[in-house]
Amino acid sequence: MRRVVHPIEEESYRRLRARLDTSHFPPLTRAVVERVIHSAADLDYATDLVMDEDSLEKAHAALHSGAPVVVDVEMVAAGITRRETVCRLRDAVAGPGLTRSAHAIRLAHEQVGPGALWVIGNAPTALEELLTLDAAPALVIGLPVGFVGAVESKAALRESGLPAVSNVSEKGGSAVASAALNALLYHPASHPDSRPDSRPEENL
């Protein structure tokens, strides 16, 4: 089912590409970079994001085969328009040495098991907790934002060797994290080597 083209977002992508040449990126990397930039109107993400095309290809296949998607907060879930997500933050409680966000990740891991895609855009402690678990993720989109713990948690994600999308700076947040996941959702499953589909859903 083709997505409906919204003229405003189509024009936004045209202007983005006029200001930034993304043609050298491999297909899924380009899709993620462009959608993240579009969500934040921040061209610097082109050099701030860190990802691997091979990992994206495997995650793309898992996602389109029905792998569960786990998010750290409801704001990330709200940005993912084409897939049900798991968010256990409402069920979580803080405890000694454990933030509510971290507890939510534990609960989600107990629920979904291995092979999920994890999308973390808010809490560095959620990402830190995920790295302590034997989650065997299909992909971790680790883009928490903030001046305390965000850079360190994303560096730890890259050092872990897990398949991941991260960024180097303090920037991030729910909108860019959900945008990275949406890039994989929107990219056609039947043509993995095609150019990214920048055509958005109507009223997205």
Adjacent-strand bridge partners of 140 = 118, 164
User: Annotated catalytic sites, by residue?
Assistant: 38
- Range list of β-strands (E), 133-190: 139-142, 164-167
Residue with tokens 């997205």: 204
**Whole-angstrom distance, CA of residue 127 vs CA of residue 156:** 9
Sheet holding 164-167, edge to edge: 49-50, 164-167, 139-142, 117-120, 69-71
In the 8-state DSSP scheme, what is residue 29? H
Question: How many CB atoms are closer than 10 A to CB 74?
Answer: 14
**Whole-angstrom distance, CA of residue 138 vs CA of residue 116:** 5
- Measured CA distances, 196 to 6, 33, 97, 199 (Å): 16, 10, 42, 9
